[in-house]
Chains A and B, each alone.
Chain A
Amino acid sequence: NAGVTQTPKFQVLKTGQSMTLQCAQDMNHEYMSWYRQDPGMGLRLIHYSVGAGITDQGEVPNGYNVSRSTTEDFPLRLLSAAPSQTSVYFCASSYDSYGYTFGSGTRLTVV
């Protein structure tokens, strides 16, 4: 039981490049979310999903896309990276949304 696995752990992108942050969970959780963490801003919700095939926008969705084709995977796509997207990204999952399990994070730098 690996929990929530995020890859990569670190990434440097050039402005305008695209990439996908991977998130996988093996707990059969229906609820999954992506957050970004910036100093002094706490965690802000980017996108979330309440089950396979269902996604919705959070607080800061611009510049990011998600899809949920399976229960296990919830990838986050950066369409055209910008320096403002430099952040630490966390994926989280929950069985019933009463308690979320977080991944260890992806530290992204856009130059």
Chain B
Amino acid sequence: AQSVAQPEDQVNVAEGNPLTVKCTYSVSGNPYLFWYVQYPNRGLQFLLKYITGDNLVKGSYGFEAEFNKSQTSFHLKKPSALVSDSALYFCAVRETTRSGNTGKLIFGQGTTLQVKP
């Protein structure tokens, strides 16, 4: 079965420091990977996606993610964290079967990012 794992429940970082939120995946075939962010009492907002091409994907709010096929990882990164980046972050993979794209998005359990001043 296809799955996504976010090994850290919470990541703490000081404002101005670089941040990394980890994600690993398990899929059959080529992965289609996504990062979403959820602010308190809000729905999820799309940050970025990897479909094909460059392994470093740039997204919204200065975030980027690095796709690593050999390590089956898709870690979210930002060079300099802001207090306003504090939120819940979800990694997701689009399910693909032998029949093709099912349209289903499978989410990890989420990682809470806490950026302290």
Residues of A within 8 A of B (CB): 4, 31, 33, 35, 40-45, 48, 50, 56, 58, 90, 92, 94, 97-105
Contacts and interface: CB of A to CB of B under 8 A. Distances in A.
A104 B42 contact: yes
Nearest to B107: A43
Interface of B: 9, 32, 34, 36, 42-46, 49, 51, 90, 94, 101-110
Contacts of B102: 50, 56
Given A102-B44, A104-B42, A105-B43, A97 B109 contact: no
B43 A42 contact: no
Contacts of A58: 104
Judged by DSSP, the binding face of A is: strand
20 contacts: A4-B43, A33-B103, A35-B107, A40-B9, A40-B109, A42-B107, A42-B110, A43-B90, A48-B104, A90-B44, A92-B44, A92-B105, A94-B103, A97-B94, A98-B94, A99-B46, A100-B46, A101-B46, A104-B42, A105-B42
